[in-house]
Amino acid sequence: MQRDPKILICAGAKRAGKTYIVNLLFLQHVAELAGRRAKIILGGANQSSIRRNVLDDMEQLLGRRIKLDRQNSFPLFGNRVVCLEGANSDAWKKARGFTAAGMFLNEATALHDRFVKECFSRCSYPGARVFIDTNPENPMHPIKTDYIDKSGSCLHSGRVNIKAFHFTLFDNDTLDPDYVDSIVQSTPSGMFTDRDIYGRWVNGEGVVYRDFDFSRHLLSAGQIAGRRFVRYLYGVDWGYEHFGAIVVIGVTEDGEYVLVREIAAQHQEIDYWVRAAKSVQAAYGDYPFYADSARPEHVDRFRREGLRTINANKAVLSGIEAVAGKIKQDKFYAADCCGRFREEITQYAWNERTGEPVKLYDDVLDAVRYAIYTDENPPFAVLR
């Protein structure tokens, strides 16, 4: 007990085994409290991520089904585990009023800081322990600065207060080596490799799509004519002072994505973009337009014109990772006639301070990202 840290954090790479080990330690802690009828917090972004990331593995470890009651809680070794959703700014309110004998926070950087702090203040039961797993993010993230950077600090009693363990992908020796190799090869260079493979808390630096190679990934008209496209995706980014853009991406049978056409212009009204979209539809066929949702009146106008228009999934980092992953795997190409694309791909850069891209030279690239990422991660309404 003296050696056990009050707060134990497993941070690092994806698929490294962090959640699995925290799950085991958490079960051990709850078992030590057997029969105390104590409340224990299990926090995650939402109920479905708690189920997917934690409860499914916990069922395997326990060898029994876990069924949540209406309060999203379940009994465990004579105690009660309460599953709390922590992603939103008001999530902390649900954690009020508890006295908790421990907690497990899954994917802590996906939780709202206020929720995390509220949960910590709930753990006042004598001997309460805290277990956290997380992927790395911006190095200024409070999970890093408030907890991980204080690893090794002790309480007045001499007990270790916080202990953080760092994981890389290579720490999980239960994974098939070929699988590990394929993850390494398909993860974009730079920030994504640093975070996802090596578990480092770093922001991106330099250009965003650094694996794009003009000598390999730009195609001539002849090279494009030699490919057979089974379908097309259209992406739309609205702009007036900035460039507006409509892009056409052909998808081959082998899952290659080729930017075959861009229409990029400044100072054009919506009528211009309707005409452009109709000309694209006439040339390539009736496929959905994945559009920036920031201008609902433009989305409505497209729909009124009979253009099938879907609000794009705009998750920036995941979308960039999806496009950059295709570039890394030689699954994304662009026609060499796409002049604005060529300009943007060499200029689009990370803001090293915020961890987000600089919002410049991003118009055609945003349209490309909306099309590819939304096609892979469609909004719920489209799935039905």
Ligand X SMILES: Nc1ncnc2c1ncn2[C@@H]1O[C@H](COP(=O)(O)OP(=O)(O)OP(=O)(O)O)[C@@H](O)[C@H]1O
Among 135, 187, 203, 281, binds ligand X (CB under 6 A): 135
* Min separation Cβ 125 and ligand X, Å: 26
Distance CA 239, CA 139 (A): 32
DSSP string, 153-208: -B-TTS-B-EEEEEE-GGG-TTS-HHHHHHHHHHSPTTHHHHHHTT-------SBS
Binding footprint of ligand X, residue count (CB under 6 A): 12
Give min distance, CB of 106 to Mg ion, in A. 7
Which partner from the list Mg ion, ligand X, none does 288 bind, CB cut-off 5 to 8 Å by kind? none
Query: Collapsing DSSP states into helix, strand and coil, what is residue 11?
Result: strand
Residue choice 4, 20, 127, 315 for contact with ligand X (CB under 6 A): 20
Least distance from C-beta 159 to Mg ion, angstroms? Answer: 27
Report yes or no: 106 and 19 within 8 Å, Cβ to Cβ: yes
Does 77 engage in binding with ligand X (CB under 6 A)? no
172 binds ligand X (CB under 6 A): yes
- In this structure, the chain runs to a length of 384
Counting contacts by CB under 6 A, is residue 166 touching ligand X? Answer: no
14 binds, among ligand X, Mg ion, none (CB under 5 to 8 A by kind): ligand X
Chain positions contacting Mg ion, by CB under 5 A:
19
**Token reading at 80:** 């009660």
Q: What are phi and psi of 184, to 5 degrees?
A: -60, -45
d(CA 116, CA 130): 11
Q: Which of 6, 7, 9, 17 binds ligand X (CB under 6 A)?
A: 17
Q: How many CB atoms lie within 10 A of CB 190?
A: 19
| Residue 17, binding choice from Mg ion, ligand X, none, Cβ under 5 to 8 Å by partner class | ligand X
Q: Is residue 305 at the binding interface for ligand X, with CB under 6 A as the rule?
A: no
Q: Give 269-276's long-range contacts (Cβ < 8 A, gap of 24+).
A: 270/297, 270/298, 270/301, 273/236, 273/238, 273/244, 273/246, 273/298, 273/302, 274/301, 274/302, 274/305, 274/307, 276/246
Q: Using CB under 6 A, which of 15, 150, 242, 278 touches ligand X?
A: 15
Residues 44-73 that bind ligand X (CB under 6 A): 57
CB-wise, 16 or 260, nearer to ligand X? 16
Q: Please, what is the minimum distance in Å from the beta carbon of residue 334 to ligand X?
A: 31
Picked from Mg ion, ligand X, none, the partner binding residue 15 (CB below 5 to 8 A depending on kind) is: ligand X
- Listed ranges 16-24, 185-193, 212-220, 236-244: which one lies at the site for ligand X (CB under 6 A): 16-24
Question: What is the C-alpha separation between 92 and 172, in angstroms, rounded?
Answer: 33
Give residues in contact with ligand X (CB under 6 A).
14-20, 57, 133, 135, 172, 174
